[in-house]
Amino acid sequence: MNESEKAMADQVAQVAIAHQTERTGHAPTSVTVVLNADTLVITLHDVLTPAEKALAQSPEGAERVQEFHRQLFQASAKSLWKEIKRITGREVREASAEIETTTPAVVHAFTTGDVVQVFLLDGERTAKY
């Protein structure tokens, strides 16, 4: 990753932290950002509150936590997309986010309460990267 890409990844990480904190009132413990060709992956580590972690111990509770976070993401994703465009210069073509509270087998998220958000970007990489 060159310096320009690192700077963009750092900016996206800061925006993702602010966005998650604003949406839920609970900041992730850390964020990992990977920008590669037309894919942007944001991993928010330890995003579940203690109450959500406790609720997720049962299958019904885990389903409720997952649905809650899906709805939050869908309801607020557009503002994050605007920031991604501002930083990268590229539109978000599609996005997905998932919290898997019961098994680590799903790539999108893990039992620790991590969330992975995947964004497919439009257009070509430009010289500003």
17-54 pLDDT, tens digit each: 999 899 888 888 888 898 877 788 888 888 888 898 88
Q: 117 by DSSP, 3-state: which?
A: strand
User: Edge-to-edge strands of the sheet including 30-36?
Assistant: 30-36, 39-45, 115-121, 92-98
How many Å is the Cα radius of gyration of the chain? 15
Confidence of residue 128 (pLDDT cuts 50, 70, 90): very low
Confidence of residue 56 (pLDDT cuts 50, 70, 90): confident
Measured between alpha carbons, how far apart are the two ends of the chain, in Å? 10
Q: How far apart are CA 3 and CA 35, in angstroms?
A: 12
Cβ(48)–Cβ(65) under 8 Å?
yes
Could you read off the pLDDT of 80-98 as tens digits, one per residue?
989 999 999 988 888 877 6
Where are the chain's structural domains?
Answer: 3-121
Is the per-residue pLDDT at 126 higher than 50? no
- Work out the average pLDDT over 94-118: 54
Confidence of residue 114 (pLDDT cuts 50, 70, 90): low
Q: What is the DSSP string of 15-67?
A: HHHHHHHHHHS---SEEEEEEETTEEEEEEES-S-HHHHHHTTSHHHHHHHHH
What class has domain 3-121? Answer: alpha beta
Q: How far apart are CA 53 and CA 111, in angstroms?
A: 9
